[in-house]
């Protein structure tokens, strides 16, 4: 199988899982970056006027910096984001890219926002729903630092080729419980807090995970209220996790399921603080899909292995592949032989371990 086909197959499988978009985004953006190399990415939901209503970004400005961005650039500039977004939506090509020029590098916006996020080159992709007249859902942005090469026409073509998958996956879906256990950690971060919930020390990824666990939309319009809301949320978490059995407290959020672990710290002079370890738990279908991508399987074998792991019958596999049940059974046996297993449940176990 072609090397360029591997990330495309993984991306398509992720986009076909039919799970809430917010739960999918943390795994979806790395899959896009495997296809179009970038250091980080973001997806911005926007309404019909171009107003940013929610976002998920692999790198985020801290709440205080986002509040300054809102006051000094988003609102003060009559929403430069909205103007840019509407222009991108109206363009004939849904994909565009640019590099930061010398003049832009002298602006406050570059210094306060783009430089802080290490952005020197940007690629935009407008994602449209695959239903309802293909209305725009939002904007995908891929980023590279100034020291890296700029995006190319080949990068644009690769992204253009998968936008319809993203449109299928990122259409607004209702929040629903996600199957995930505390053992299925996708990423985690740690912080030390005082009794009021004020953060004394934090890992680099802490704020982003806390904002996702809190579960409220992340947007410039809410940025000014977010620092206080996060402190209150963490204060409540500290109380809850302190009383929780085994010092484990789980939170269901539109962004997925999160677990807080609690450790009490005591200084040499008797002062006390709380260390919190925050884990984002992997949704089971996403974990299985990512596991399948790491195995030495052909594209079709990966499809079949994932369907087996998701407890689909041979008849259901046949329907999805558009083949007879006998042919589907043959493909299932091929997967069993390739993975050296004899039971369907073993396939799921191998994908989880992968």
Whether 5-170 and 295-353 share one fold: the answer is no
So what's the pLDDT on residue 144?
A: 98
Distances (CA, A) of 86 to 48, 135, 346: 9, 12, 49
Q: Report the candidate in 25, 14, 338, 349 with the shortest Cα–Cα distance to residue 212.
A: 25
Question: How many other CB atoms are found less than 10 A from the CB of residue 19?
Answer: 19
Name the superfamily (CATH) of residues 5-170. GAF domain (3.30.450.40)
State the CB neighbour count (10 A cutoff) for residue 97.
Answer: 19
Classified by CATH at the fold level, domain 295-353 comes out as: Arc Repressor Mutant, subunit A (1.10.10)
b/e sequence 170-198, b meaning 16+ C-beta within 10 Å: bbeeeeeebebeeebebebbbbebeeebe
pLDDT tens across 71-110, in order?
887 776 655 788 889 999 999 999 999 999 999 999 988 9
pLDDT at 57 over 90: yes
Q: Average pLDDT in the 285-296 region?
A: 83
How far is residue 163's CA from residue 156's CA, in Å, rounded to a whole number? 11
pLDDT digits (tens, 9 = 90+) for 152-201: 999 999 999 999 999 988 885 655 555 555 557 888 999 998 877 678 89
Per domain, the residue ranges of the chain are 5-170, 185-281, 295-353
Q: Which residue from 255, 207, 218 is spatially nearest to 26, judged by alpha carbons?
A: 255
The lowest-confidence range among 159-163, 213-217, 321-325 is 321-325
Q: So what's the pLDDT on residue 2?
A: 42
Q: Quick one: what percent of the chain has pLDDT higher than 70?
A: 92
Structure tokens at 335: 């997967």
193 is written with which tokens? 């807090």
pLDDT at 173: 61
Q: Do residues 171 and 131 lie in contact, with contact meaning Cβ atoms separated by under 8 Å?
A: yes
pLDDT given at position 4: 52
% of the chain surpassing 90 pLDDT? 34
Domain 185-281: give its CATH architecture.
Answer: 2-Layer Sandwich (3.30)
State residue 98's pLDDT score. Answer: 95
Question: Pick from 257, 348, 346, 243: which is nearest to 306 by CA?
Answer: 348
The mean pLDDT of the chain is 86
Q: How confident is the model at residue 1 (pLDDT cuts 50, 70, 90)?
A: very low
Distance CA 233, CA 211 (A): 10
The predicted-structure confidence for 108-166, as pLDDT tens digits, reads as follows 889 989 999 999 999 999 999 877 668 899 999 999 999 999 999 999 999 999 999 99
pLDDT for res 287: 83
- Global pTM? 0.83
């Amino acid at each position: 199988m072609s090397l360029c086909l591997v990330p495309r197959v993984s991306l398509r499988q992720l986009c076909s899982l039919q799970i809430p978009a917010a739960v999918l985004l943390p795994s979806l953006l790395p899959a896009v970056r495997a296809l179009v190399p970038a250091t980080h990415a973001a997806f911005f939901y926007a309404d019909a006027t171009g107003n940013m209503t929610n976002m998920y970004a692999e790198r985020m400005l801290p709440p205080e910096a986002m509040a300054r961005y809102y006051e000094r650039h988003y609102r003060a500039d009559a929403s430069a984001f909205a103007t840019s977004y509407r222009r991108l939506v109206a363009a004939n090509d849904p994909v565009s890219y640019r590099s930061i020029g010398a003049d832009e590098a002298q602006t406050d916006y570059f210094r306060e926002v783009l430089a802080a996020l290490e952005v020197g080159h940007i690629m935009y992709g407008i994602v449209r729903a695959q239903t309802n007249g293909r209305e725009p859902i939002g904007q995908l942005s891929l980023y590279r630092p100034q020291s890296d090469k700029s995006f190319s026409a080949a990068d644009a073509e690769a992204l253009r080729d998968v936008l319809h998958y993203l449109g299928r996956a990122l259409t607004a879906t209702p929040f629903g419980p996600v199957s995930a256990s505390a053992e299925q950690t996708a990423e985690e971060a740690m912080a030390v807090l005082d009794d009021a919930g004020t953060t004394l020390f934090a890992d680099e990824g802490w704020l982003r995970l806390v904002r996702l666990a809190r579960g409220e939309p992340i947007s410039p319009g809410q940025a000014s209220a977010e620092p206080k809301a996060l402190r209150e949320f963490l204060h409540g978490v500290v109380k809850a996790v302190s009383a929780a059995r085994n010092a484990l407290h789980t939170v269901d959020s539109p962004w997925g399921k999160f677990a807080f672990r609690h450790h009490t710290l005591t200084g040499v002079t008797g002062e006390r603080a709380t260390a919190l370890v925050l884990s984002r738990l992997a949704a089971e279908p996403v974990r299985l899909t990512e596991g399948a991508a790491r195995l030495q399987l052909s594209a079709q074998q990966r499809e079949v292995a994932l369907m087996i792991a998701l407890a689909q019958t041979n008849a259901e596999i046949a329907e999805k592949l558009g083949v007879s049940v006998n042919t589907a059974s043959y493909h299932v046996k091929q997967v069993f032989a390739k993975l050296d297993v004899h039971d369907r449940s073993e396939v799921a176990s191998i994908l989880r371990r992968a």
